[in-house]
Structure 1
C-alpha cells in the first residue's frame, strides 16, 4: 500500500533536487522590495541565474551565485533556502542546516522552508528537532493533513505510539476513515500491545465500507494471527458466498488449510486464486513462486498443475517467471526437451537474463548434449560478453568432445575475464586446465595447474579428488594424494567418486584392508544412474590383492564391470588370465 506521508516526502525531495516552486520565488521577490532599484535588479539576476544553474545540476556554480545574492541581502529567506538546498545536494549537511534554519527564522510561517528543514532533520534521524518543527507547523496549518502524517511517522520512530495514534486521529478527523490510516493505527496498537484496539480499527473500516470484501478478509487474517482459525474460516466462507471469485480469500484460505494440516486443500485454494482475474500478474507470480515447489512435487495433481501453468502462459505469454516456473515443473518430470523450449522462450523475451542462459547450458550439460552446449555458450557470449562463466562451460563441452586444444584455448581466453571476487571460478578454470594437460600427457604442467587451483581455493574438493587420483595413477607422492583424498571424504563422506579415489590410493599403498572397506562404501553409495564400470574394476583389483579367499569374488566383480560396458583390453586380460601373480 502507498502511505500518504511517503508520497509527500517524495514530492518534497523532488522539489529539493529539481525546480523551485513559484511560491518560493515570489516570497524571495517580496523580501527584496526595500532594496534600492539597482541592487534589486542585481539580486534578481543572480537569484534566477542560480535557479538555472540548479536546474542544470551545476551545484558548485549555484552555491557561488546564491552567495552573491546573500552578499546583497543576507536576510532573504528564499536565497538562504536555495543555498541550503545546494549545500545539501553537495553533501554539506552542516552548512545546509544552518541556511535552512536561518530561512525559517526569517520567515517562520513559510510552509516550504519549514518542510525543507524538517526533511533534512528526518534524513539525519534527528527526530526530536523534526517533531519540534512539525508541531510548530501544525499550529500554523492546523487543517493541513500532511502535518499529521509527518507527526505520526516521527512519533513512531521515537516509539511514542500513543502520540502517533493521536496524530492519525487528527488526520482522520480531516480526511475521514481510510485504508492507509487504519492500517497504520492497527500496526501502532499492535506495537503498543493493545491488539483489541487495533482490531477495533479494522472493524471500523469494515463497517465504513461494508461492500469491500478485502477488509473482511483482513479481519479473518487477524483472527488467524490471534490463533482463532474457526472464526477466520467462518469469515472466509461468508466472503466466498458473496464474492466467489475473490482471489484474496483463496490466498487466506490456503494459509488456513496449511495451519490446520490440510495441504491438499491449501494447494487447491492457491490454484483457485491464480485462476481468478482479480490479481495482477506480479502478485500471481509472487504467489506462484511461494508454492511452485509443492505444486511440481504433488504427483497426484500433475495434470491439473500443468493445466494451470498453460493457462497462466496463455494469459501472460511475455512473463518470464511464469515460463521459468513451468520449466521447473517440466524438469522435475524429466521432460528436459520441453523445459529447454521454455528457456528458449524466456531468452526470446529477455536475451540479457544470465540465469536463463545458465539453466539452458546446465540442462544440456546434464543431458550430455555437448555440441548443443557449444552452440548455446556461443550465443550467450554474444548476448552477454565478458562473462567468464560461458568460457568455463564451453571448455567443458570441448573437453568432452575431445577437442583438448580448443578447450585449452577457451580457458586461457576466459581467465582474464574472471573478476576478483570469483576465486572459486578461477580455481575451477585451473582445475580444468590441469585435466587437459593430463589428457595430453603433460603431467608436470597438469600437477602445477592443480597446485595453482588449490592455492586459489584450498577447499576445492573436486580439485583435490582429481589431483589425488592422478597422483595415484602415477604412483607418485602417494602420501600427498592420501591427505588430499581424505579431506574430500571428510567434506562429502557419501560421495562414491571420492570414496573410490581414496580406496584406490590405499590400494597403491598396499593397505588392502582399508582399501576394501572404502571401495565397498563407494559401491553402496553409487547413484543408480552412474556408470559402475571403473569402480567395480577397482573393487575386483582390491579383492584380488586382499588374499586367495577373495579370488572367486574378484573374478565375479571384474565380469560385472566388463558387462556394464567397461570393455577395456586390460580388464579382459584380467578375466581371461584369472587374475595375475601376486
Structure 2
C-alpha cells in the first residue's frame, strides 16, 4: 500500500535571531555579542554543509550550537533532519522528539518524526503522530486512513472515511478503500443499516443511494439493489446513477429498448466513471451479439466513448466480432476506428485480416496501397498485398511485393514463413515448380526452427 505523503516546505525565517539563553547580567556586552556571533556562524555553517550533503560536518556545527543553547528546539530539529538524511533513524527520532518536547506547537517537528516512522515503516507509531498533524492540517486525514488500512484497523478507517465523506468528500483512493472494507461481510450489514437510515434522513443525498446499491449488488441482492435504484430515480429524477442499476435490470427483464435508453443516459453522464461506462457498454455488446439485434444502438453507444484517451473502443469491439467470426461487423468497427486514427497499424492489420478471412482481395489491394504510403517499410503490409495479388492471379506483382516485404522482416519468423509460402505460391502460378519447391522447403525449415 502506498501511503500518500504531504509536501512539507521548511522555512528558516526567524530562526537565526533566536536569542541566547544566558542571562545578560552575568556577562559583559562584548562576550554576549561574541557568543551570538559564534552561534550564528555555527548555524550558518551547518546549513552550508547540509546543502552540499556533508551531514557529518553539519552535525558537528549543530553540536557547537547546542553548547551555548542546549534547549533550542530549532537546533534539535536541524539535527534530526541531518540524522534522517544519513538514515541514522534512532538519532533522528531522538532529535525530533526533543524538539517536540521543547515546542510541541511546531508542526514541522511533528512532521520530522513522521518522516522517521514512515521511512522505517513503523506505521503503528506513525498513527498518533499523524493524529497530531491533523490538528495542523486536515489533509493528513488521508494519511491516517492509509495507516489504518495498512495496520488492518478497518473499523477505524471506515469511521474516518464516512466522516470525511460528509465533511470534505472522498478521493478516488478513499473510495477504493471503502469498497475494499465493505467487501468484508462483517462490515456490510451495519453499513447497509446506516445508509438506509441516512436515506430516510436525507432522501436527496445521491451518494447514499449509490453506496447502498453497490453493497446490495456485491452481496448478490439484485432485487434490493433495484429497489434502491427505483427509490433514487423517484427521489432524484435527474440522477444518472439510478440508470446504472436500471440498465442491468431492464436487460435481465428482457426490456432491451429501456436498457438502451438507460445506457445512453449513463454514457452521456459526466458524473459516472469511464470504467462503469465501459462495463455497461460491454454488457450491451454481449446482449447485441447473442441476440443479433440492436446493432444501431450499439454503434451509437460506441460514438459516446470514441474520444476515450485510454481505450480504442471501436477497435476493441471490432476485435470482439473478429473472434466471433462476424466479419462484416468486425470490418465496420475497424473502419470506424481508422476514421479517428488512420495511422493505427494494429487496427490496419486487423482490418486486412478480416478482409482476408472473407476473401475480399480487391479491397485488400485498394486499402494496402494507401497504407504503404504511411508505412513503406512495414513488412506485414507487403505480405497482405502479395497474398491478395496471388489470389487475384497477378503473380508477377505478387512476387514484387513479397520480395520487398522480405527485405523489411525483422525478427518475425512467423511472418518470414508466410512470406516464403506466398512466394512459393507465386512461382507455382508462374509455372516455376523448382523455385516453388525451394521456397516451400525454406518455409518448412523455418517452421521446424520455430518449434
Same fold (TM over 0.5): yes
Instruction: Give the one of 29, 47, 61 matched to 1:72.
Output: 61
Q: Write the deviation string for residues 7-42 of structure 1: whole angstroms up to 9, x where unpaired.
A: x81x53xx4xxxx6134x459868998754433333
**1:144-293 aligned within 5 A:** 145-146=138-139, 149-165=142-158, 168=160, 172=163, 176=167, 184=177, 187-188=180-181, 190-191=183-184, 193-203=186-196, 205-207=198-200, 209-257=202-250, 261-262=252-253, 264-265=254-255, 268-275=258-265, 277-279=268-270, 282=274, 284-293=277-286
Could you say if the C-alpha distance between residues 134 and 408 of structure 1 is closer, same or farther in structure 2, counting changes exceeding 3 Å?
same
| 1:370 counterpart = 2:360 | no
Q: 1:361: which partner in 2?
A: 352
The structure with higher relative contact order (CA 8 Å, sep 6+) is: 2
**1:23-172 aligned within 5 A:** 23=11, 25=12, 36-47=39-50, 50=51, 64-66=53-55, 68-73=57-62, 77-78=77-78, 81=81, 84=84, 95=87, 101=93, 104-105=96-97, 107-108=99-100, 110-121=109-120, 126=121, 129-138=122-131, 145-146=138-139, 149-165=142-158, 168=160, 172=163
Could you say if the C-alpha distance between residues 133 and 281 of structure 1 is closer, same or farther in structure 2, counting changes exceeding 3 Å?
closer
Q: 1:21: which partner in 2?
A: 9
Q: Structure 2: how far apart are the matches of 1:83 and 1:391?
A: 64
Q: 3-state SS of the aligned residue for 1:21?
A: coil
Q: Structure 1: how far apart are the matches of 2:296 and 2:134?
A: 63
Q: Structure 2: how far apart are the matches of 1:103 and 1:437?
A: 84
Could you say if the C-alpha distance between residues 256 and 438 of structure 1 is closer, same or farther in structure 2, counting changes exceeding 3 Å?
same
Could you say if the C-alpha distance between residues 360 and 304 of structure 1 is closer, same or farther in structure 2, counting changes exceeding 3 Å?
closer
Q: Structure 1: how far apart are the matches of 2:321 and 2:170?
A: 42
Could you say if the C-alpha distance between residues 77 and 371 of structure 1 is closer, same or farther in structure 2, counting changes exceeding 3 Å?
same
- The answer (yes or no) to whether the contact 1:380–1:390 under 8 Å persists in 2 is no
Runs of at least 5 residues in structure 2 that lack an aligned partner in the other structure: 21-35, 64-74
Q: 2:401: which partner in 1?
A: 407
TM-score, normalisation: structure 2: 0.68
Q: Structure 1: how far apart are the matches of 2:413 and 2:91?
A: 50
Q: Give aligned pairs, total.
A: 398
Q: Write the deviation string for residues 190-227 of structure 1: whole angstroms up to 9, x where unpaired.
A: 52624211213333553564312342243244334444
TM-score, normalisation: structure 1: 0.55
Q: 3-state SS of the aligned residue for 1:219?
A: helix
Runs of at least 5 residues in structure 1 that lack an aligned partner in the other structure: 51-61, 88-94, 459-582
Could you say if the C-alpha distance between residues 448 and 370 of structure 1 is closer, same or farther in structure 2, counting changes exceeding 3 Å?
same
**1:442-461 aligned within 5 A:** 442-443=435-436, 445-458=438-451
Deviation, structure 1 residue 450:
2.2
Q: 2:384: which partner in 1?
A: 393
Could you say if the C-alpha distance between residues 245 and 151 of structure 1 is closer, same or farther in structure 2, counting changes exceeding 3 Å?
closer
Q: Structure 2: how far apart are the matches of 1:143 and 1:149?
A: 14
C-alpha RMSD of the superposition: 4.5
Could you say if the C-alpha distance between residues 234 and 175 of structure 1 is closer, same or farther in structure 2, counting changes exceeding 3 Å?
closer
Deviation, structure 1 residue 378:
0.9
Q: Structure 2: how far apart are the matches of 1:376 and 1:397?
A: 15
- The answer (yes or no) to whether the contact 2:263–2:281 under 8 Å persists in 1 is no
Deviation, structure 1 residue 399:
4.4
Q: 3-state SS of the aligned residue for 2:126?
A: helix
Q: 2:25: which partner in 1?
A: none
